[in-house]
Structure 1
Amino acid sequence: MEQHREHRQSHPATDFTALLAALRASAAQRDREGGHAAREKQWIADAGLLTLAVPREFGGIGARWTDIYDTIRQLARVDSALAHLLGFTCLQVVSVDLWGNLQQRERYLRGTVEHRWWWGNAVNPLDTRLMAVATGDGGYVLDGRKGFCSGTRGSQMMTVSAHDPATGKPVFAVVPTARDGITVHDDWDPIGQRQTDSGSVSFAQVRVAPAEVLTRPDTPHASLRTLISQQVLISLFVGIAQGALDEARVYVNAHGRPWINGDVAKATDDPYLLQRFGEMRVQSVSAEALAVRAAHALDDAWQRGSSLDAETRAHVALATSEAKTVAHRAALDAGEKLFDACGARATRAALALDRFWRNARVHTLHDPLDYRVRDVGRYALCGTLPDVSLYT
């Protein structure tokens, strides 16, 4: 954490604590309005957070994953949509770091530092509508559409995956978001996570140069990208649970009233209310503890580089599934229990306290929880570690 502390102190005009307070102050209104949070994204960029995952050799902070996820969790406590955007920028940066050659890493990672690029994500693995036709020189032409493209609106660079019909294999590349033929559609209209800029992107005869094509190695280390992505989501879930608890505490202390049959003078003396807050607290700290444990496992695997073996990688996948299961449930439960704790007046639309549950509900549908519990159960009963997949 020392390295990260030094980074924060180097930006006094955009102090991290002040940034969190500013985001929290406008979170409810921005949730109601949706749209693109250009001003708030600029604040995050001004704080230097876009370079968290860029290695030091390319001018970045080179933070450990434990510190990156801590930052995302803290942002998610006040605004899980913007925390998602930062997390997914880190994910695209690490995609280049893992899959790019030296020239690509120098170009795109140093470019992120020098130009403060926000990165968009058009790598949705289940959406195969985007076609990549080889041009014969190592490049491709992209045609089609991608959905759930987090962070694309307002981004400067984008990672893309497309289907090569000639080989049946995926193609990965980096392209500027403003390239001719790319259209970012403002069609993201969910019940939660309203400012993640996650609409669809269409590609019409978009040229990808050979130098922009990434090569995904088939190694345990390269496959860590999936687990890095999953732990971004875990951090969001934990932050949502913690944020719901924070808002419930503030509301009850300011506005709580004792129940007529409670036989207590203050709401904060009600034993049932205390029990509810105790349960929310236990869930959130349990989720955070497992998230930190998984992040430490990832950090250890990351540091091993090319020497990382499949079994160690599988143990990181197991820790990730364990943490995601608990964090998933904690986020949803806290978003609901918040209202049990705060009462009917807390449902006033202007407060937007339902955003915690709505944000959690949208994000927890990313991949089915049942299959994560199945993987954990297989290990608990049979000692079978998770296989590498698109989500584990």
Structure 2
Amino acid sequence: MNEPRHAATHSVRDVSSAADVSAAFAASSTSGVTDLSSLLDALRASAPQRDRDGGHAGQEKQWIADAGLLTLAVPREFGGPGARWPDIYDTIRRIARVDSALAHLLGFTCLQIVSVDVWGNPEQRARYLSGTVEGRWWWGNAVNPLDTRLVASATSDGGYVLDGQKGFCSGTRGSHMMTISAHDPAAGKPVFAVVPTAREGIVVRDDWDPIGQRQTDSGSVSFTRVRVEPHEVLQRADTPYASLRTLISQQVLTNLFVGIAQGALEEARAYATQHGRPWVNSGVDRATDDPYLIQRFGEMRVQTVSAEALATRAAYALEDAWRQGPSLAAEARAHVALATSEAKIVAHRAALDVSEKLFDACGARATHAPLALDRFWRNARVHTLHDPLDYRIRDVGRYALSGTLPDVSLYT
């Protein structure tokens, strides 16, 4: 790994415009994938086959790194573009249109960078954020807070030894660094840290085989006498600003849903215009003149643009809160949580509905397996099970009825 360079700490995130996101793309790549447009074309071309194969998308992850996207969430003072959250989520959404699994990996790399940004001390932030830029690190995680099987035993020098395992460790396979959470039974509290994925005693298991999101590298990780050095231990802050990390995670998922709906609609349109046949009783010569098909596409578009609008609204609310830094008030943070839940509810429904209506719009021939058009629904179905929709609707309903804002939790 490259030696990190050090920089002064900051309390409020540097921000930039969409132009700075474009400027983040690497111009020195020899892979031919040097900008977002060519990256999307390359991912879309291989997405159906990779969906069938599953496994690890090493080449495609390299293309994402070559396009300069791994550093989007790194502040400028550490060498990153300091991109705004609306622009980061727009990038994630655009990738999700063609490959929601790899969009998930990029989103979760951004999330781990944020974890260091809000939980790390000045030295840790300088080391790991600058290191991400210099080393083009992919980040994985073993931070599933509901999985308490990983035990941390304190050492006399302030470090820990880890034993146990974690499940649903998105992005860890093929990563350079990882964030971890473990339970310290002696202190009765959680421990958070950053460790290199290749550290002795860490085994990343290839045991993720779901019906969708098949290339998110979300297998389990086992730890056997894994040493955590004192300088690798993060101190999770219990402040409204630090707790924005949860909402950043939830908006990653929200924008994956939006991208899935957009991608399903795009594929449906392409198939219907190129291969659609009018129904025998329609009285029209072209499928695209069928009034029922037109209505169906109208309904799908309304759902998709509604989801995008609310996701963008939530991203701007997050950006406004993020700019406030440690001075962010609890009530302001709660309004971001409400906007996030509102967006996620609509995006959740849009992803499932549009990816299913795709087949109503395209007909029986669209189920031809090599087309893999069912991947949109399968990807949506897997990710929409992340947390129950009912509890988000409950939170929104409470606010609509009594003005009660959501409490901070693992998901809000």
Same fold (TM over 0.5): yes
Map 1:295-310 to 2 at 5 A.
Answer: 295-310=315-330
1:137 shift after superposition: 1.7
Who is 1:230 aligned against?
250
Distance 1:124 1:203 in 2: 14
- Aligned length in residues: 392
One-letter identity of the residue aligned with 1:318:
L
- 1:195 equivalent among 206, 215, 219: 215
Aligned to 2:15: none
User: Which of residues 206, 215, 222 in structure 1 aligns to 2:235?
Assistant: 215
- Report if aligned partners of 1:159, 1:172 keep a CA contact under 8 Å in 2: yes
Distance 1:217 1:196 in 2: 28
Question: Aligned equivalents of 1:152 and 1:7: distance in 2?
Answer: 24
- Alpha-carbon displacement from aligned partner over 1:219-248 (angstroms, at most 9, x marks no partner): 100000000000000010000000000000
User: Using the alignment, how far apart are the partners of 1:114 and 1:106 within structure 2?
Assistant: 12
Residue 110 of structure 1: how far off its partner (Å): 0.5
SS at match of 1:233: helix
Instruction: Give the equivalent residue in structure 1 for 2:20.
Output: 3
Contact 2:26 2:68 in 1 (8 A): no
Of residues 167, 175, 194 in structure 2, which corresponds to 1:155?
175
Give the match for residue 346 of structure 1. Answer: 366
Query: Which residue, 181, 206, 209 being the options, matches 2:201?
Result: 181
Query: Cα offset for 1:342?
Result: 0.5
TM-superposed CA distance for 1:136, in Å, is: 2.3
- 1:286 match: 306
- Decide which of 104, 129, 132 is 1:112's aligned counterpart: 132
Counterpart for residue 71 of structure 2? 51
Q: Which runs of 5+ in 2 are unaligned?
A: 1-17
Paired with 1:292 and 1:187, the residues of 2 have a C-alpha distance of: 35
Deviates more, 1:60-69 or 1:11-20: 11-20
- Confirm or deny that 1:72 pairs with 2:92: yes
Structure 2 residue aligned with 1:140 = 160
Query: Which residue, out of 186, 206, 209, partners 1:166?
Result: 186
Task: Give the whole-Å Cα distance in 1 for the aligned partners of 2:26 and 2:108.
Answer: 24
**2:306 aligned partner, one-letter code:** S
Q: Who is 1:249 aligned against?
A: 269
Distance 1:51 1:34 in 2: 26
Structure 1 match to 2:296: 276
2:377 alignment counterpart = 357
Aligned amino acid, residue 217 of structure 1: A
The aligned amino acid for 1:2 is A
- Distance apart, 1:7 and its partner CA: 3.0
Matching residue of 1:335: 355
User: Which residue does the alignment assign to 1:17?
Assistant: 37
Q: Which runs of 4+ in 1 moved over 6 A?
A: none
Q: Distance in 1 between matches of 2:216 and 2:76?
A: 28
CA shift for structure 1 position 9: 8.1
Q: Does the CA contact (< 8 Å) of 2:24 and 2:72 recur in 1?
A: no
In structure 1, what is the equivalent of residue 53 of structure 2? Answer: 33
- CA positional deviation for 1:169: 1.2
The DSSP-based 3-state class of the residue aligned with 2:24 is helix
Deviation at 1:11, TM superposition (A): 6.3
C-alpha distance in 1, partners of 2:50/2:255?
A: 21
Q: 1:326 aligns with which of 346, 353, 357?
A: 346
8 Å CA contact retained: 2:22, 2:35: no
Cα shift at 1:303 = 0.2
For residues 45-101 of structure 1, give each alpha carbon's deviation from its aligned partner in whole angstroms, at most 9, with x where no partner exists: 001100000111000111010110000000000000000000000000010000000
Q: Structure 1 residue 356: deviation in Å? A: 0.2
Cα distance, 1:10 vs structure 2? 4.9
Q: Could you report, residue by residue, the CA deviation over 1:195-225 in whole angstroms, capped at 9, with x for unpaired residues?
A: 0000000000101001000001111000000
In structure 1, the residue matched to 2:283 is: 263
Equivalent residues of 2:179, 2:193 under 8 A apart: yes
Q: Which residue, out of 386, 399, 407, partners 1:366? A: 386
Deviations 1:260-287 (A, max 9, x none): 0111110000011011100110000000
Asked if structure 2 preserves the Cα contact closer than 8 Å seen for 1:287 and 1:330, the reply is yes
Q: 1:288, 1:11 → 2: CA distance? A: 33
* Distance in structure 2 (CA, Å) of the matches to 1:135 and 1:314: 38
Per the normalisation by structure 1, the TM-score is 0.99
Q: Secondary structure at the match of 1:204?
A: strand
Amino acid at match of 2:326: S
Give 1:3 shift.
1.8
Which structure shows the higher helix fraction? 1
Contact 1:11-1:47 at 8 Å conserved across structures? no
Give the fraction of aligned pairs with identical amino acids, expressed as a percent: 80
